[in-house]
């Protein structure tokens, strides 16, 4: 397994990632910080009850992904590839390191007058791990054990995957909520949007969608919508979604932030109303209903 290069490690640290061990990282979420300072919360709290100030955003595969998505805010151009070998860090060490890193990243808030001191103190003991930050987390061969380690400490898990490793979807210990990202309604747009390294990725994504109904945990199909690129063919999305029978569908705007600004113009970011209009088309094609929305995050929830 190639190691994180000094250049990539330096780039991650410059962008406020805390690197853990050989291949993991934490970055404090924008909404975690806003919750501590202003009491404003992420849509995950509004939709699913996850407290924003106690959410830990992390990844066990910070430099590894088998996609190079146009819409990704991470530095995908520096990816180390789509495979990790078996010589990986222990799940216990990753969880210990992630919690310690979160505390270190937040400790500076103690000096700010406007901070809610009780909420800040609670943030040092996270209660949910969003396993999604960068890279493809299912490339980490012990993802099942990592989820078990979080759950064993009373920490729920939201696992976000691109679905290209159906063999790695956790079954021994299911996450609290399992997301599959779906960025295109058909193979042609998928290849253009997600730019997979392996031509068979579309087939493996479909295999993952077909496996989703077997999960007992909450399941979500997330559509990240990019204006002028993938806000089309709701019937095509519906065919894929019906295979998965998810508990929820999230229609969410692409956000023009991070390294994606080098690949896409600001005009590619749809407004909340445009997201909602497309969500209505998805609802009509799937039979799902709009249940909630959060304009600040440009996201609409269907169930």
| Count of structural domains within the chain | 1
Q: Is 189 exposed, middle or buried (0-12, 13-18, 19+ CB in 10 A)?
A: middle
Q: Mean pLDDT across the stretch 67-79? A: 83
At 26 the pLDDT is 95
E strand or H helix at 274, and its extent?
helix 272-286
Mean pLDDT value of segment 82-109: 91
- For residue 1, name the pLDDT band (cuts at 50, 70, 90): low
**Residue 74: Cβ within 10 Å count:** 23
* Helices marked H in 68-194: 91-106, 117-123, 143-152, 187-194
CA atoms in the 13 A half-sphere facing the CB of 195:
11
Q: Rounded mean pLDDT of 134-151?
A: 94
Task: State which residues form the domain around 259.
Answer: 6-302
CA-wise closest residue to 54 among 145, 143, 118, 97: 118
Q: Answer yes or no: is 211 within a domain.
A: yes
User: Is position 145 within any domain?
Assistant: yes
Which CATH number covers residue 13? Answer: 3.20.20.70
110 pLDDT above the threshold of 80: yes
Measured between its terminal Cα atoms, the distance across the chain in Å is: 40
Q: Is 179 a member of any domain?
A: yes
User: Has residue 209 got a pLDDT over 80?
Assistant: yes
- Give residue for tokens 């066990």: 60
User: Looking at the predicted structure, is the pLDDT value of residue 250 above 90?
Assistant: yes
Question: What is the band of 116 on the pLDDT scale with cuts at 50, 70, 90?
Answer: confident
Residue 60 to residue 65: CA distance in whole angstroms:
11
Strand bridging mode 128-131 / 156-161: parallel
pLDDT of residue 2: 61
Residue 249: its pLDDT value, please? 98
- Mean pLDDT, rounded, for 15-29: 92
d(C-alpha 98, C-alpha 129), whole Å: 9
Q: CA–CA separation, 86 vs 75, rounded Å?
A: 24
Find all residues with CB under 8 Å of 33, minimum gap 6, and list them.
106, 109
Calpha distance 150→24 (Å, rounded):
15
Cα 145 → chain centroid: 19
pLDDT at 49: 92
The model scores a pTM over 0.85:
yes
Residues 152-202 have pLDDT tens digits of 999 999 999 999 999 999 888 999 999 999 999 999 999 999 999 888 999
Q: Is residue 1 part of a domain?
A: no
Residue 118 lies in a domain: yes
In a domain, 54, yes or no: yes
Q: Rounded CA gap, 43 and 297, in Å?
A: 7
Give 265-287 pLDDT, tens digit per residue. Answer: 999 999 999 999 999 999 999 99
Residue 3 has pLDDT above 80, yes or no: no
Q: Is there a domain that residue 176 lies in?
A: yes
- Segment 213-235, tens digit of pLDDT: 999 999 999 999 999 999 999 99
Cβ(165)–Cβ(65) below 8 Å: no
What is the average per-residue pLDDT within 54-82? 87
Q: What phi-psi label fits residue 233: left (phi over 0), alpha (psi between -120 and 50 degrees) or beta?
A: left
Whether 115 is in a domain gets the answer: yes
The DSSP code sequence of 173-189 is S--SEEEEE---SSHHH
């Amino acid at each position: 397994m190639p190691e994180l290069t000094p250049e990539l490690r330096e780039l991650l640290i410059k962008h406020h990632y805390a690197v853990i061990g050989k291949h993991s990282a934490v970055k404090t979420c924008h909404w975690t910080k806003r919750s501590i300072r202003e009491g404003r919360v992420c849509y995950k709290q509004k939709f699913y009850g996850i407290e924003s100030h106690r959410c830990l955003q992390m990844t066990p595969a910070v430099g590894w992904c088998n996609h190079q998505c146009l819409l990704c805010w991470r530095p995908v151009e520096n990816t180390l590839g789509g495979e990790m070998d078996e010589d990986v860090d222990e799940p216990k060490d990753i969880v210990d390191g992630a919690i310690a890193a979160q505390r270190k990243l937040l400790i500076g808030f103690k000096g700010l007058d406007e901070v809610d001191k009780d909420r800040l103190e609670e943030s040092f003991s996270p209660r949910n791990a969003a396993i999604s930050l960068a890279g493809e987390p299912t490339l980490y061969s012990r993802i099942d054990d990592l989820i078990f380690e979080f759950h064993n400490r009373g920490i729920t898990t939201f696992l976000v995957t691109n679905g290209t490793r159906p063999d790695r979807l956790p079954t021994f210990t299911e996450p609290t909520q399992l997301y599959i990202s779906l960025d295109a309604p058909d193979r042609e747009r998928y290849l253009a949007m997600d730019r997979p390294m392996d031509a068979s990725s579309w087939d493996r994504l479909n295999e993952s969608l077909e496996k989703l109904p077997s999960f007992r945990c909450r399941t979500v199909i997330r559509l990240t919508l990019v204006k002028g690129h993938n806000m089309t063919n709701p019937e095509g999305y519906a065919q894929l979604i019906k295979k998965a029978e998810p508990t929820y569908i999230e229609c969410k705007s692409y956000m023009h932030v991070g390294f994606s600004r080098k690949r896409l113009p600001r005009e590619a970011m749809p407004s909340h109303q445009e997201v909602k209009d497309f969500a209505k088309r998805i609802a009509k094609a799937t039979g799902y209903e709009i249940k909630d929305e959060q304009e600040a995050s440009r996201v609409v929830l269907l169930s």
